[in-house]
Amino acid sequence: MRARVTVMLKAGVLDPQGEAIRHALAALGFAGVERVRQGKVIELDLAETDRAAAEAQVAAMCERLLANTVIESWRVEFA
Amino acid sequence: MRAAVVTFPGSNCDRDLAEALALHGFAVARVWHKDTDLPAGTDVVGIPGGFSFGDYLRCGAIAARSPVMAAVAAHAARGGHVIGICNGFQVLTEAGLLPGALMRNAGLRFVCRPVRLRVATAASAFTAGWAAGATVTLPVAHHDGNYQADSATLDRLAAEDRIAFTYIDDPNGSARGIAGVLSANRRVLGMMPHPERSADPALGPAEGAALFRALAAAGVSA
């Protein structure tokens, strides 16, 4: 089973890299980009075949390592 | 007094930190990230600067989950002193031994220069060599030194006098200009500036020596 974890900075946490991307897009002439938030995507190939067990496993991974929950939020999609 | 300095793959200030501690009277042991125990009788643990594990995932994230950190957490839990400098500060926040997180510098640039700091509290074994409110100049060298925590945490740190150092001219966007913080028992210090790079008079102004001198004078033991 494949899990795709998306980690983003929490709402309200300043994202200086997102801001830099927004400025660079404006410099390239892409007008009207009002906000850019940058995050990361982590794909996991799991041996687990039970969806509920996989969800619990990945949630624990996110809380303990994949995201720093002081500043980041996470979400998971399964394929 | 015995100090243990941890080395992770990618640490690059470990030797400087060991030298600074030794110069001020500590017997220094070097510890590898895969070690599961600290040397018997360790009083102070040093988590050095550098780029542990290439800053993969997040600065300090992988190092914080390495085997030696369980021993460091146990040392802190029994009241042992720990100092984390630069990447070491990032490791201590990632390990949950200090609150908050270090994010990318607000200006997005690596900042490498001496900065002026205010010693915000003298009430710790690390800062007892200064008067509260004193200014000190120490070098910084980091890309991710932007200290952030939610406002309740920041208020608590201020109310409990746990902000150790603040920047006089904030180089990285840190909340409330915070350059270093203490744990609730005041025995774990994390700071972005590098006192160990400013601890030997042979290498220029040794303003960071006061930290190591105070730590040695405190006769801290775990």
Closest partner residue to B58 (CB to CB) among A13, A64, A68 is A68
Write out pLDDT tens, residues A16-65.
Answer: 889 999 999 999 999 999 999 999 999 999 999 999 999 999 999 999 99
CATH classification at residue A61: 3.30.1280.10
The answer to whether the beta carbons of residues B5 and B46 sit under 8 Å apart is yes
Q: Tell whether the model's pLDDT for residue A12 goes beyond 90.
A: no
Which residue among B57, B104, B148 sits closest to A17, beta carbon to beta carbon? B104
Q: Return the pLDDT at A16.
A: 87
> Is A71's CB within 8 Å of B173's CB?
no
CA distance B155 to A67: 24
Amino acid B106: pLDDT: 92
| pLDDT given for residue B222 in this prediction | 58
pTM score:
0.95
Residue type at position A67: A
Residue A11 predicted with pLDDT over 70: yes
- The correct CATH number of B2-217 out of 3.40.50.880, 3.40.50.150, 3.20.20.150, 1.10.1060.10 is 3.40.50.880
Partners of A71 on chain B (C-beta within 8 Å) are 101, 103, 148
Domain positions in chain B are: 2-217
Taking 3-state DSSP, the helix, strand and coil percentages for chain A, each rounded to the nearest 5, stand at 35, 30, 35
Q: Which of B55, B56, B57 to mutate to test the interface with A (most CBs of A within 10 A)?
A: B57
Query: Is residue B63 left, alpha or beta, with left meaning phi > 0 and alpha meaning psi from -120 to 50?
Result: alpha
Q: Which domain holds residue A63?
A: 2-78
Instruction: With beta carbons under 8 A apart, name residues in chain A contacting B65.
Output: 64-65
Distance to chain A for B112, nearest Cα, Å: 19
pLDDT of B219 reads 79
Using an 8 Å CB-CB cutoff, list chain B residues near A68: 58, 61, 94, 101
The pLDDT, as a whole number, for residue B135 is 98
ipTM of the complex, rounded to two decimals: 0.87
- Residue contact A17–B108, C-beta within 8 A: yes
**Integer Cα distance of B14 and B18 in angstroms:** 6
Question: What's the pLDDT at A79?
Answer: 84
| Total residue length of chain B | 222
B148 vs A13, A17, A20: nearest CB = A13
- A53 part of contact set with chain B, CB < 8 Å: no
Distance from CA of A64 to the nearest CA of B (A): 9
For residue A14, the model assigns a pLDDT of 85
Pairwise CB contact (< 8 Å): B103 & A17: no
Each residue's pLDDT, cut to its tens digit, for chain B (222 residues) gives: 999 999 999 999 999 999 999 999 999 999 999 999 999 999 999 999 999 999 999 999 999 999 999 999 999 999 999 999 999 999 999 999 999 999 999 999 999 999 999 999 999 999 999 999 999 999 999 999 999 999 999 999 999 999 999 999 999 999 999 999 999 999 999 999 999 999 999 988 899 999 999 999 987 765
- pLDDT for residue B153: 97
- Which residue from A minimizes the CA distance to B149? A70
pLDDT at position B72, please? 98
